[in-house]
Structure 1
C-alpha cells in the first residue's frame, strides 16, 4: 500500500471513529425544503420536506441543493445508519418533483430543471421499502416512477437507433448543449464521451435504467400486478442484452460507452465499465475479464475516472481545467459502484484492494484536515487536481456514503447488499 513516510495505516477503530462522526453529521446537513440560502443564491425549487444536502458547512451555498444522484448515495448510507426518517423525506421530495415536472430534475434549482440526472435514485426507494415495509409509499411511488421511467427516460429525446438510451438536455439557456447533455450523466465535465454524449449510449445511464426496470418489477409484484412485473423484468433483460451486445469491448475485455453514430467504442476506459456488474448485466465470464482489466484503472489510492488524460474535446467552450471527471481524479460514487459490483460477482479480493487504497486516502486526508472532499487525486493521494474545475471542495454527501459503505465492506466483511438489503418481491407467479 502506498502511504506517506511515517503515516500510520488506517485501522478499523479509526474508520469507526469517522463513521461515528458521519452518523452525527446527518442532522447538521439537513436543509429546509424551501431553503432561504439556496433560494437567494440559485433560484431554488421549493421541496415539501427537508433533506440531507451534500455540502459540508464550508461548502459553497449551491451545494445545499438536492442533486438527484448525490442523494441516492446519501440515502444508501442513511439506510446503513438506520435513518429511515431522512430517507423518507428525500423520497417524498423526489416524488413531488415527478408530480411537477414528470421527472426529478438534475437538482432543485430552476437552472437545472431542463434535464434529470443518471436515474439511480429509484433503487434507494426500493431499499427503503425493504427496510420499512411502507405500503402507503409503495402505492404512491409506483405510478409516479412509471411516469418518470416511461415519460422521461424512454421519451424521444433519449431514444437512439441503437436501442439504448442517450443523454440530452431539454434547453438549458446557460450552457452549451453538449455540456448540458453531459451534465445529465452526472459527469460534468469529462473527456470520456469525446465531446458529444448524445452520440453515445453511456454504460452508466443504461445500467441505471436496467436497475430502474428491476425496481418497477419488484414494486409491481408486491402490489399484486403480476403481468406488469413480468413486463418490467423482460424490459430489464432486453436492455441488459443490448448493453452486452454494444458496450462490451471483446478486445479490451471491458465495458465501454458506445458511439452509435461512429459505430465504435469511445477511446477511454472508465470505472463506469463496472456498472454492468452492479446492475447484474455482465456475464460471469465478462465479470472475470473486468477483474483482469483492473490494473488499467486502479491507482495507488483508488480508481481513476479515466484511464488516460486527454485534451478537452470542447475547445474554447471548456478548457482542460474544467474536465474534473478525468484522470487523475477519483470520485467517491465510482468507487462505491465498482466495489459493490465486484463483490456481487464474488470477486472479493479485488474489491478489498480498491477499498483499502481508497479508504487509506480518504481517512488520511481527514486525519490531517478534518474534512471529507468531493474528489481526490488517486495518483498521489492528495486533493490537488490539475482539472478541478472549481477547486476541490469539502463535501459530505457521497463522500460520507463511501466511508460508511466501503468501510463496512472492508472492516466488517459486510456486502453492501447486506447493509442496505434489496426489496425482495414475491417473484413466483
Structure 2
C-alpha cells in the first residue's frame, strides 16, 4: 500500500510512541494582532471578515503589532494604508477549469473541476493563519480557500468515482496527521478553527478507501479513529448526572450523549464583526453567546433554527444546550467502525468496549431523540429535559448509520416525504428564517444522507425520487449559469441564499454528491 509507511508513523504518533511532544496550539490572528485585529474588523475594512484573518504578514507579526502601537493610524484611510503596507491579502480559490461552456456535460464539468479545486501540500508562510497539511487535497472553492473537515467526505464521494482515490487517501492521511498533531480534526486548516471540530465523518472517508471491505480500512486507521473518539468523549468519566463537560452530556438516567462545543468563547476570527453584533442584541453574557455561535459552526449548520431557543432569531442561540440527532448518529457510526476495526485486528477487549458503547448510544438515541407522537427524531434540550420539536433533515441520520429500527425508519420516511421533500430536493428545515440552514435551502450533504438512509432501509423508490429531484435542480442551474454552487433553493429550484456571506461557487461537496448520484441514478428525467 502506497501509504503504509506513513500510516505506521501516524500509528506511532497516536499511540504516544514518538519522542517529540505535540506542538502547542498556534495562536489565531485575534490572539496575535489583538487591538489591531479588532480595529480592522470593527471598522469593516473588508466586506468579508475572513479576508484579514487569512492575510499573510510581510514581516514578523510582533514587529507589525509594535509598529501599529508606535504610530496608531488616525482614521480608516490610514488604517487601510497600514494594512496594505504590512500584509498580503488572499485571493478566492479558483473554481472554473476554463471558460464555462454550454456544450460541456455536467459530469464532464465536474471531472474538470477537480483539477481547479485541487491544492498542493500546504506549507504556511511565516505568521500565516494556515495550518500545514502535508498532502495534496481538494478545497470547497470561493472564499473557502483551505481544507474543511466534513466537506471533504462529500467531496470524496465524487473523487473516488472519477478515479481519484489517491487524493482521498492523501486527505485521509492528512486528517490522521492533524489528529496526531492536535488531538482532533479541526473545522478547517486555519489556526482560528483549531478550537473546534466538525461532524465526525472521518470514519466515512476511511471506509471509501476499501468499499468492498471497509473493516480492513478501519483496522488500518484504527489509532486515528480511536483518538478522534477520545476527543469527542473527553471528560466522560468524571461527569455527574445532569451536567456536561466539553462535548459530553450525562443525562438524567446516567446515559451519555454528545453536543457540539467550542473550546473558546470569543468572537470568531472569521466573523468577528457579525458575532459582536449578535451578542450586543442580547441580555446574556457575551461569552455564552460566542460559545453557542462557535458550537453551531462546529455543527456545520451555521446557522439554523435548530439552535435557536425561539426557533426564529440568531440572538437566542443555545447550541450547547442541545443534544443533536446528527452528531450522536455519527458517533454511533464511529463506534461501529472502531468495533469492526478492532475485530479485524483481533483486539477483543476493544471490540467488546465499542460494541457496548454502540448499544448504549443507540438505546439513548431511541429514548431521548425519538418522538413517539411526531414519528421522527428531534434534537433534545438537555437543560430543560425536553425535545426541541423542530423538524429538520437531521431526523434521517439514525437511518443513515443504521441505528433506527425498521418501523421508525418507515415513519421518518413518511414524515420527511410529507414535510421536507420539495420539488427540487430535501429542504433543510421546515422554517423560513433567512438563515442558510433553513428553508428554502437544500444542501448536497443532506441529500446524500437522505438518499443513502432511505436506500439502507429498502425505501428505494423514495430514495430515487429524492435523488432525481436534486439532480434536476443542479442541472437546471448548470444549464443556465454553467456553474455548481454550495446550496440551492429547493422550493423554486434555483441557487440558494441567506446566511453570513454571498453564495459561493465551486463547489466541493455539491460536485461530489452530484457526481455520485449521477452514477447511481443515470436515468433521472
Shorter-chain TM-score category?
Answer: 0.7 to 0.9
Contact in 2 for aligned 1:297/1:303 (Cα 8 Å): yes
Match of 2:157 in 1: 76
Match of 1:343 in 2: 455
**Which sections of structure 1, spanning at least 5 residues, go unmatched?**
1-13, 311-319, 414-429
Q: Pick the structure with greater CA Rg.
A: 2
In structure 1, distance between residues paired with 2:343 and 2:257: 25
Q: Secondary structure at the match of 1:346?
A: coil
Map 1:391-402 to 2 at 5 A.
391-402=502-513
- CA 1:208–1:187 in 2, change beyond 3 Å: closer, same or farther? same
- CA 1:132–1:207 in 2, change beyond 3 Å: closer, same or farther? closer
- CA 1:221–1:364 in 2, change beyond 3 Å: closer, same or farther? same
> C-alpha offsets along residues 234-254 of structure 1, whole Å, 9 cap, x if unaligned?
211221111111111111111
Q: Secondary structure at the match of 1:330?
A: strand
Q: Secondary structure at the match of 1:395?
A: coil
Match of 2:114 in 1: 26
Q: TM-score if structure 2 supplies the norm length?
A: 0.68
- CA 1:350–1:131 in 2, change beyond 3 Å: closer, same or farther? closer
Matched, 1:48 2:134: yes
Contact in 2 for aligned 1:68/1:105 (Cα 8 Å): yes
Match of 1:127 in 2: 208
- CA 1:26–1:148 in 2, change beyond 3 Å: closer, same or farther? same
Contact in 1 for aligned 2:219/2:344 (Cα 8 Å): no
Match of 1:223 in 2: 345
Match of 1:100 in 2: 181
In structure 1, distance between residues paired with 2:159 and 2:341: 21
Matched, 1:181 2:303: no
**Which sections of structure 2, spanning at least 5 residues, go unmatched?**
1-101, 236-244, 269-289, 309-316
Contact in 2 for aligned 1:30/1:52 (Cα 8 Å): yes
Matched, 1:267 2:381: no
Contact in 1 for aligned 2:215/2:341 (Cα 8 Å): no
Q: Secondary structure at the match of 1:233?
A: helix
> C-alpha offsets along residues 190-233 of structure 1, whole Å, 9 cap, x if unaligned?
11122211111101100110111111112112222233123212
Match of 2:365 in 1: 243
In structure 2, distance between residues paired with 1:276 and 1:190: 20
Match of 1:3 in 2: none
In structure 2, distance between residues paired with 1:347 and 1:79: 25
Matched, 1:158 2:241: no
Matched, 1:332 2:425: no
Q: TM-score if structure 1 supplies the norm length?
A: 0.83
Size of the alignment, in residue pairs?
380
User: Once superposed, what is the RMSD of the aligned Cα atoms?
Assistant: 2.4
Contact in 1 for aligned 2:218/2:337 (Cα 8 Å): no
- CA 1:42–1:290 in 2, change beyond 3 Å: closer, same or farther? farther
Q: Secondary structure at the match of 1:160?
A: strand
User: Which protein, 1 or 2, shows the higher relative CO under an 8 Å CA cutoff with sep ≥ 6?
Assistant: 1
Matched, 1:17 2:105: yes
Contact in 1 for aligned 2:157/2:513 (Cα 8 Å): no
- Could you tell me which of 84, 91, 112 is aligned with 2:193? 112
Contact in 1 for aligned 2:424/2:493 (Cα 8 Å): yes
In structure 2, distance between residues paired with 1:354 and 1:154: 38
Cα distance, 1:388 vs. partner? Answer: 3.4
Contact in 2 for aligned 1:84/1:132 (Cα 8 Å): no
- Could you tell me which of 192, 200, 220 is aligned with 2:306? 192
